[in-house]
Amino acid sequence: MFESIIKMFSYEFFVRAVIGGSLISLCAALLGVSLVLKRYSMIGDGLSHVGFGALAIAAAVNAAAPLEFAIPIVVIAAFFLLRISENGKIKGDSAIAIISTASLAVGIMVATMTTGLNTDINSYLFGSIIAMSQKDIIICIILSIIVIIMFVFFYNKIFAVTFDESFAKATGTKAGAYNMIIAFLTALTITVGMKMMGSLLISSLIIFPAITSMRICRRFRTVVICSAVIAVLCSISGLIISYQYNTPTGASIVITNVCLLIIFSIIGSVSDRINAKRYSKQ
């Protein structure tokens, strides 16, 4: 087992996948804490489907740089989704469902009518370990540096806006602007990460680490740190499983996340009971 892991890391594509996967998971987890707590996690799901539609169209028109083509489209969709969840006539969740299924349908229609459902399209849907090119890795690194710096810099504001938007607004914090920043960074993360994780599963990177760490952690700061660690660990172990058993990358990472969530839930419910006892004695 140990030897085969060392052998894995001797392949350049695998090292690329580990670096890219960890960075994408890290960014998604940081943003995810805020999105999950604000009940916006479905936006991630919606955006990934929009991203798929955009990439399918990019492939169809033979765009030289599909990623650069898709990113602005997804960013626009992110702003749009945020607006409807805030003040739309159609309720947020149904609006997201409409947009995400519509773009998935458009993507598949365009793909089958032009290039056919080839491996490229397949990997956009389900993710692929070998999908990361040298250029993708560079984009990943730049993106994650941007996300981490923004997150650290705006950490206190993000907390204030996540915990209580009406208070933040009332005391003069531009809550809308911070929502936009989060949506923008989420759109970037999703589009870049889609190639490896697949659009059907990438939203799990946003949701799982936050939910898992909230089973145990009781402070915002520890939730953030714990989510980041969980995300990186899960993506590396998922990649190893994916390589070892030749399973799709996205699915393997999600499975490791599910296992960790179950473990954390059990630990969490036990410690909740202990806590309840301790405080009832006081």
Partner 1 sequence: MAFITCENVSFSYENTSVIRNLNFSVDKGDYLCIVGENGSGKSTLIKGILGLKSPAHGKITRGDGLKKNETGYLPQQTPAQKDFPASVYEVVLSGRSNSRGWRPFYSRLDKQTAIDNIKRLNIEHLLKRSYRDLSGGQQQRVLLARALCASKKILLLDEPVTGLDPIVTEDMYRLIEELNKKENITIIMVSHDIKSSVRYASHILHLNGDETFFGTTDEYIRSPVGKYFFSEDKKNV
Distance CA 209, CA 48 (A): 18
What does the binding site for partner 1 look like in residue numbers (CB under 8 A)? 37-39, 152-157, 159-160, 163-164, 166-173, 214, 217-221, 223, 275, 279
Residue linked to tokens 């204030």: 160
Nearest to 193 by CA among 20, 13, 16, 15: 20
By C-beta, is 58 or 168 nearer to partner 1? 168
Shortest distance (Å) from residue 205 CB to partner 1:
19
By C-beta, is 36 or 104 nearer to partner 1? 36
Shortest distance (Å) from residue 87 CB to partner 1:
11
Distance CA 106, CA 20 (A): 28
By C-beta, is 118 or 156 nearer to partner 1? 156
By C-beta, is 64 or 278 nearer to partner 1? 278
By C-beta, is 25 or 213 nearer to partner 1? 213
Shortest distance (Å) from residue 159 CB to partner 1:
6
CA 222 to chain centre: 19
Shortest distance (Å) from residue 29 CB to partner 1:
14
- Which residues make Cβ contacts (< 8 Å) with residue 128, sequence separation at least 6? 119, 122, 195, 196, 198, 248, 249
Shortest distance (Å) from residue 153 CB to partner 1:
5
Distance CA 222, CA 53 (A): 36
Environment class of 6 (CB within 10 Å of its CB; exposed 0-12, middle 13-18, buried 19+): exposed
